[in-house]
Amino acid sequence: MTEPAPQTTPGTPASAAPRPLALVTGASSGIGRATAVGLATDGFDVIVHYGGNREGAERTAELADEAGAATALLPIDLEGLDDAAGFWDAVTAVAAERFGARQLDALVSNAGVDLRRPFAEYMHAEVVRLFQVNAIAPLHILQGVAAGVRPGGSVVAISSVAATQPLATSLPYGATKAALDHLVRATAALVAEQGIRVNAVSPGAVDTPLQQPERIALLRERGIAASPEEIADVVRTLVSPATRWVTGQVIDATGRPLR
């Protein structure tokens, strides 16, 4: 598989004492953008991954730049990602070009797709796409964590309440997130001796481009839909040293008691 060459954006050059480096996948909008900008505010330089929405990624990079970060764009189509090297070779290249040869301090695996329809109407290709982007691509990303993230670093994946509370019109999506939860717990055990923490955040309804605006507006009126920034705050907490004893966990971020 041939990946597009990494591309960089202007910003402050790396200093003698570089800021920690974070990578956020699916950072063109929504939770990914809010997380990238939030981590920039927390003192990280940021690699902004995107699939097809370059304009959105550039806007995210601009906002992170304004927050004090040096940034780089990383275009990788996760629908075509079929091995770990396809992802991590590109990450290594952009990190070396823009930030010097160093490992990530934080990785946020946020990119995902959703599709809502009656279960009986899902087509095979649609189910394959959901699993490819939401579970298989993250699997390949997690395969490279031991080499790509420094000891003491943090990995956070964005899961969903649908993994444990099935939604009638989104059953394949929930299955992909259940697979992701398993991968997070398993990877946390595999890299624990290296001091790398791996956790997931499980939101409920969030006001992102994946959601129907009318549904989100109704849920926000009822106080049960989060903003991207509110979920990003949970991610930032898991990245921070304040949660250095937390790993292998799927953190409920629905704002509601567990059933």
Q: 30 is written with which tokens?
A: 């929504």
Tell me the CB-side half-sphere exposure of residue 37, using CA atoms within 13 A. Answer: 20
Contacts of 178 (CB under 8 A, 6+ apart): 163, 164
Say what the alpha-carbon torsion angle 196, 202, 207, 211 is, to the nearest 10 degrees: 110
Residues catalogued as catalytic: 173
56 within 8 A of 28, measured Cβ to Cβ: yes
Residues across the chain: 259
